Each structure stands twice: as structure tokens, then as C-alpha cells.
Structure 1
Amino acid sequence: MAGQPDLGRADLVTMLAELHARPAAEVPDRIGSMELAWLVHLVEQRYDRQLDLTDDQLAGIRTVDDALVVFRTSLTAPADG
């Protein structure tokens, strides 16, 4: 589907596994502020787009699934420009 990012849960888990140098199977579902910053950075690089996330959106991200929902929403929003 056009405009739909190909970002999936497995992608985020793989990114977190790289951060902690551990197998993806050992990545916990809950993420902290360091993991969140890492994910935002990598997703922005991968899609060459700044994720313009609000404080409320960021505060609501506590798990990999939370991050996936917020990132997909941000990536499908019209880019400013």
C-alpha cells in the first residue's frame, strides 16, 4: 500500500538487539529512554525523515508495540516541506 511504512515489530526488536549486542529473542518488550532515543534515531535514518513526536507521544511509549504504533503514525503523516 502506498505511503505505508514497511516498519514492523521485528525491525524494532532487531534494532534493540543491536543496541545491546544480544540476540533478538533476548530483547525485552519494555523499553526505556535510552532504547527509545536509539529507536527514534535509527527509524529517522532508515526513512530519511524526522519523526516530529510530541511529548505526549514519547511519554506513551513504554513497549516495542507502543513504539511501533507511534512510529507508523508519524511516518504516514504528510511530511512538512
Structure 2
Amino acid sequence: MDGQPDLGRADLLTMLAELTTKPAAEVPDRIGSMELAWLVHLVEQRYDRQLDLTDDELAGIRTVDDALAVFRASLTTPADG
């Protein structure tokens, strides 16, 4: 993958909409542990990569924007192997 991943806020809202069965426009900005686990799973599938997130990084994710920042940083880190 070159440069920044093509992951955006709208992508995360769409993923959360699948979980909540609400339209993406109605998905709350706050993320709970279940929503976070869902997002990590879907982002890993989409990019065929294991996100190597620390406990501190995970604990710091409380909103969609938090998740976007952490996921983008993780995806731009070279994969092992």
C-alpha cells in the first residue's frame, strides 16, 4: 500500500451502521467496546492486516475520529514479514 490508507470517517460510519442497523448519518460519534471490536475486525479484513494496537491506543479510542486516527497510524506502519 502506498502512503495514506484510503480509510475515511465515512468508511467507519458505514461500518458502524452495519452493526447498529441505523443509517450512517444516525450513527453516534461515541464508540463503546463492542463497536470498537467490530471496527477493528472490519478494518483488519478490509486491509488484510492485523492491527497491532496497544492497550493504551485502544483505551484512547472513544469517538469515530479517535478510531480513524489510530487506525490510519497503524495502517501506515509497515507490516511485519
**Sequence identity of aligned pairs in percent?**
89
- Please, which runs of 5 or more residues in structure 1 have no aligned partner? none
Q: Which runs of 4+ in 1 moved over 4 A?
A: none
Separation in 1 of the partners of 2:9 and 2:59? 19
What is the aligned-residue RMSD (CA, Å)? Answer: 1.1
Alignment deviations for residues 22-65 of structure 1 (CA, whole Å, 9 cap, x no partner) = 10111000000000000000000000000000000000000000
What amino acid is aligned across from residue 58 of structure 2 in structure 1?
L
Counterpart position of 1:52 = 52
Counterpart position of 1:7 = 7
Cα displacement (A) at 1:3: 2.6
- Please, which runs of 5 or more residues in structure 2 have no aligned partner? none
Question: Aligned runs of 1:58-69 on 2, under 5 Å?
Answer: 58-69=58-69
State the number of aligned residues: 81
Counterpart position of 1:28 = 28
**TM-score, length-scaled by structure 2:** 0.97
Counterpart position of 2:76 = 76
